[in-house]
Structure 1
Amino acid sequence: MPAYSIAILAIYLGFGLLELWRSNLFTKDEQTRDDGIVEAVSTAMLLVVTQPMIVFASAGIMWAVAPEWAGALQGLNVLLAILLFLVLDDMMQYWWHRASHSFAWLYNLHRAHHNARYMSVRLVYRNNLFYYAMMPGLWFSGVLVYLGLGWVYAGYLIVKMTVIIGAHCDVAWDRRLYSIKWLSPVMWLVERTISTPATHHAHHGRHADDPAVHYKGNYGNLLFFWDVLFGTAKITRTYPQSYGVENLAPASLGQQLMWPLFPEQKAEDENGQTVGEAV
């Protein structure tokens, strides 16, 4: 196992142990039998199949199209290399995530991530099995690795996954820092730069009338700056009262993992009329 994978696993386990100690990692409020299955299957699929497949496939495509470009950026300045990943991976993921909340068919690929009625490190890789295979940022990252930036990607991933795992953890690391008054200016900068529990939990909130909820925004993964830049940011320094989705029919195990092979159910109101999706 590569050193960066070991580092990410250690970070994941560290936050997991924190949840185990503080908030019952395996027995979340309102969780169902399907939740554990979706999380286990989607996480294993991404790490064992999808991500390695994309790295090899993108390299294969590039080798077929431009074999002379292999390793072409190997000597690139490290700051420029990081900038390339921030734009072609993280910003592209912002737009992919935003699109997933704008188009119903894409939301069906992403709904599994929001279906859980809790926050946890368990949600980090929770998605439809086809969602990551279609994510542009992963393919662009594969191309950058082919071009010789694999050494930068390793460090970039460690930082990115630390932020993302921390943002999903239900033991919010920023809560204590917000309570320290003299740190307020520092946190003002932090919360506008990277995703924090407060800003990302808002994106997972269940009810639109909850002042702390903003599920039509706060799409950033590593950088929350993209939300600030593109006008989708909401910062409250508070946390939603509950998590999940509202105004949608329950999603089956098959729908969460393998839509469109398993079509979604339609919610009906008290008059028997179909309720539109609020994605």
Structure 2
Amino acid sequence: MDTTLSVHNPTLIVAAIFLAFVLLELACSAFRQSRSLRRDLLIEIVGSSLLLAVTFPLVMWLSGTVLQHLVPQLKGALVGIPWIAGFVLFLLLDDMTQYWWHRLTHRVPALYALHRAHHSAPYMSIRIVYRNNSFYYLLMPGLWLSGTLIYLGLAPVYYVYLILKMTVIFGAHSSIAWDDKLYGVRALRPLLWLLERTLSTPSTHSAHHGLSADDGITHYKGNFGNLLFFWDILFGTAKITRRRPQAYGIEHLAAASWREELFWPLVRTRRVARAAQPEPEVAQ
């Protein structure tokens, strides 16, 4: 891995932004969810810890180590490119591929088992940002491609990109509907029209987490974007209502234990395995 990453490490800044959202939800009495269960806490704490302490550093290290052995001559090869070009590369190779990975996990039942933990929470909150199966991020192409771009010399660009991306993702998952107030400001309407078609917002992303498509708002077959909602606009999976579902969670699937949601396929039960084969048209 390019040693520049350790010099320009965005971890502390991202952690500070995450903490700011936590404090905001606490101040608004929205962090401790009324429907939160012990299993939810275990999934969120264990899942987030595994990603931050194991998966992310492991992927960054492995991608750099493998490339160092295979193509040592390419280390730092992109150092001289314009900063904006490097940023666009991260948008395409990280954010766009994450859109397709996210979309694929909602289409293939076996892959959805790696993502269902993110949707089994009956609430929206900063707490669920990293709530996923322990293998979900390990298999995410965007992380490996980001490690590749860092090896090629774009670590300083990644510093800015990751801070921006995680700020948008934190804001989109937060239980604080910060975009609601903006919708009421007439002078901001043109800007908001553009914003909600460019970046993920609480309104568009909460629709992705809704419990039932029958409410006319929930759209778990779309709104897959992470940093850019533009991918949903571009690839035809967007739904914009400026409203929020009344309930959140997983429709048409039987409950699974916290161990199975975090460690499937290493942990699985026969009962849930049978129930977790939804018809393609209702698979989340």
Pair in the same fold by TM > 0.5: yes
Correspondence for 1:17: 23
The superposition leaves residues 43-102 of structure 1 with CA deviations (integer Å, 9 ceiling, x where unpaired) of 111111100000110011111110000011111100100000000000000000000100
1:3 & 1:23 partners in 2: Cα distance?
32
Aligned with residue 226 of structure 2, among 214, 221, 224: 221
Q: Displacement, 1:278? A: 2.5
The superposition leaves residues 115-140 of structure 1 with CA deviations (integer Å, 9 ceiling, x where unpaired) of 00000000111100010000000000
Give the TM-score normalised by the residue count of structure 1.
0.95
Aligned with 2:213: secondary structure?
coil
The superposition leaves residues 196-250 of structure 1 with CA deviations (integer Å, 9 ceiling, x where unpaired) of 0000000000011011110000000000000000000000011111100111111
Aligned with residue 117 of structure 1, among 100, 112, 122: 122
* Residue 244, structure 1, aligned to residue 246, structure 2: no
Aligned with 1:217: secondary structure?
coil
1:11 & 1:117 partners in 2: Cα distance?
24
* Residue 38, structure 1, aligned to residue 43, structure 2: yes
Q: Displacement, 1:3? A: 5.0
In structure 2, the CA distance between the partners of 1:275 and 1:98, relative to structure 1 (3 Å rule), is: closer
- Identity of counterpart residues, as a percentage? 53
The superposition leaves residues 243-266 of structure 1 with CA deviations (integer Å, 9 ceiling, x where unpaired) of 001111111111110011122544
Aligned with residue 52 of structure 1, among 50, 57, 77: 57
| Structure 1 segment 82-121 matched on structure 2, within 5 A | 82-121=87-126
Q: Tell whether the 8 Å contact from 2:109 to 2:278 is kept in structure 1 after alignment.
A: no
Structure 2 unpaired stretches of 5+ = 1-5
Correspondence for 2:3: none
| Structure 1 segment 1-279 matched on structure 2, within 5 A | 3-25=9-31, 27-263=32-268, 265-266=271-272, 276=279, 278-279=283-284
Q: Displacement, 1:24? A: 3.4
Q: Displacement, 1:185? A: 1.1
1:182 & 1:212 partners in 2: Cα distance?
26
Q: Tell whether the 8 Å contact from 2:256 to 2:272 is kept in structure 1 after alignment.
A: no
Give the TM-score normalised by the residue count of structure 2.
0.93
Q: Displacement, 1:275? A: 6.2
Aligned residue type for 1:17: L
Structure 1 unpaired stretches of 5+ = none
Aligned residue type for 2:118: H
Aligned length: 274
1:65 & 1:231 partners in 2: Cα distance?
38
Aligned with 1:150: secondary structure?
helix
Q: Tell whether the 8 Å contact from 2:98 to 2:140 is kept in structure 1 after alignment.
A: yes
The superposition leaves residues 139-167 of structure 1 with CA deviations (integer Å, 9 ceiling, x where unpaired) of 00000000000010011000000000000
Q: Displacement, 1:268? A: 8.8
1:210 & 1:187 partners in 2: Cα distance?
24
In structure 2, the CA distance between the partners of 1:232 and 1:275, relative to structure 1 (3 Å rule), is: closer
Q: CA RMSD in A?
A: 1.6
1:106 & 1:42 partners in 2: Cα distance?
17
1:59 & 1:43 partners in 2: Cα distance?
23
1:73 & 1:91 partners in 2: Cα distance?
20
Aligned residue type for 1:21: A
2:86 & 2:222 partners in 1: Cα distance?
28
